[in-house]
C-alpha cells in the first residue's frame, strides 16, 4: 500500500512535467502560427488546449483522491497542495498559448505582428519556451540553481515587453487593431513567463520549507 502511494506521488511529478511539455509545444506552435500566418497550425493549437485542460482535471482528481485516501502530512501534504497550484498554472499557460493562436487565426491571412517586431516576439517566445523547459526540470529534479535561471529569463521577457510597448507608444504607422493585438500578445507572453516563475517558486517552497510568503504569485510588470 505504502509503496503504491510513493509511486503515486512520483507519478504526480511526471504528470506535471508532461503538462509542461504540452505547454511548451503549444507555445512553439502558437508562435509559429502567429509569425508564419499558418491558419491550420493555429487551429491545431486551439483544439489541443482541451487536452491540457483534461490533464489538469485528471491530475486534480488524483490529488484529491490521494488527500482522501492517504491523509498525508508534512512534506507529502505540501507536495500535494503545491501540485494543485502548479497544475492550475500550467492549465493557464495552455490558455495563454491558445490566446496567441486565436490572435493568429483572427489576423489570418495577415500577420498580427508587424515586420519590425517579429524578432522581438520570436525572442519573447523563445525565452518563454526555455522558461517552461527549465521549470519542468526544476519540478523533476528540484534544481534550485536552475530556478534562478527561470527568474532571469523572466526578467528578459519583461524587458522585451517594455521595449516593444515603448516603441509602439512612440511609433507611427500602426493601425489601432495592430496596437490592440500587439498589446495583447506581449501580455500573453509576459504572463507565461510569470507562471513559469510561480512554478519554480513553488518547488523552492517544497525544497526549503520556507514560509508561504515566498509563494505569492509573480506580479506582472508594473510599468505596463
Q: Which of 224, 202, 208, 217 is nearest to 12 (CA)?
A: 202
Is 9 a residue that touches a copy of itself (CB under 8 A)?
no
Helix, strand or coil, per DSSP, at residue 108: coil
Contact letters for a copy of itself, residues 102-141 (x by CB under 8 A): x---x-----------------------------------
- Can you list the pairs that 6-12 forms with residues at least 24 positions away whose Cβ atoms lie under 8 Å? 8/62, 8/66, 9/66, 9/76, 9/79, 11/62, 12/59, 12/62, 12/63, 12/66, 12/79, 12/80, 12/83
CA distance 74 to 209: 10
Among 9, 35, 39, 77, binds a copy of itself (CB under 8 A): 77
Sites for a copy of itself among residues 12-71 (CB under 8 A): 53, 56-57, 60-61, 63-64, 67-68, 71
- 118, 179 Cβ separation under 8 angstroms: no
CA distance 71 to 195: 29
Q: Rounded to the nearest 10 degrees, what angle do helices 118-141 and 176-208 cross at?
A: 20
The one segment of 11-19, 116-124, 125-133, 208-216 that binds a copy of itself by CB under 8 A: 208-216
Is 73 a residue that touches a copy of itself (CB under 8 A)?
yes
Among 74, 109, 115, 145, binds a copy of itself (CB under 8 A): 74
The one segment of 25-33, 34-42, 151-159, 162-170 that binds a copy of itself by CB under 8 A: 162-170
User: How are the residues of the chain apportioned to helix, strand and coil, as percentages rounded to the nearest 5?
Assistant: 85, 0, 15
Is 162 a residue that touches a copy of itself (CB under 8 A)?
no
Is 179 a residue that touches a copy of itself (CB under 8 A)?
yes
Is 165 a residue that touches a copy of itself (CB under 8 A)?
yes
The one segment of 7-15, 17-25, 126-134, 211-219 that binds a copy of itself by CB under 8 A: 211-219
Beta carbons within 8 Å of 78's beta carbon, 6+ residues apart: 205, 206, 209
Contact letters for a copy of itself, residues 182-201 (x by CB under 8 A): -xx--x--------------
The one segment of 27-35, 77-85, 107-115, 136-144 that binds a copy of itself by CB under 8 A: 77-85
Is 7 a residue that touches a copy of itself (CB under 8 A)?
no
CA distance 75 to 209: 9
Amino acid at each position: 500500500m505504502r509503496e503504491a502511494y510513493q509511486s503515486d506521488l512520483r507519478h504526480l511529478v511526471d504528470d506535471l512535467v508532461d503538462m509542461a511539455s504540452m505547454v511548451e509545444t503549444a507555445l512553439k506552435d502558437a508562435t509559429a502560427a502567429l509569425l508564419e500566418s499558418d491558419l491550420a497550425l493555429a487551429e491545431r493549437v486551439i483544439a489541443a488546449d482541451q487536452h491540457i485542460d483534461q490533464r489538469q482535471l485528471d491530475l486534480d482528481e488524483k490529488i484529491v483522491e490521494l488527500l482522501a485516501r492517504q491523509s498525508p502530512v508534512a512534506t507529502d501534504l505540501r507536495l500535494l497542495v503545491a501540485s494543485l497550484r502548479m497544475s492550475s498554472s500550467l492549465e493557464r499557460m495552455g490558455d495563454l498559448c491558445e490566446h496567441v493562436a486565436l490572435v493568429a487565426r483572427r489576423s489570418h491571412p495577415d500577420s498580427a505582428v508587424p515586420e519590425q517586431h517579429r524578432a522581438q516576439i520570436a525572442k519573447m517566445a523563445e525565452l518563454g519556451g526555455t522558461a517552461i523547459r527549465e521549470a519542468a526540470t526544476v519540478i523533476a529534479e528540484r534544481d534550485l540553481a536552475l530556478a534562478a535561471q527561470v527568474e532571469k529569463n523572466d526578467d528578459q521577457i519583461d524587458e522585451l515587453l517594455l521595449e516593444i510597448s515603448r516603441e509602439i507608444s512612440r511609433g507611427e504607422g500602426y493601425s489601432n487593431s495592430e496596437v490592440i493585438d500587439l498589446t495583447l500578445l506581449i501580455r500573453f507572453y509576459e504572463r507565461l513567463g510569470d507562471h513559469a516563475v510561480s512554478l519554480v517558486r513553488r518547488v523552492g517552497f517544497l525544497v526549503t520549507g520556507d514560509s508561504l510568503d515566498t509563494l505569492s504569485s509573480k506580479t506582472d510588470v508594473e510599468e505596463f
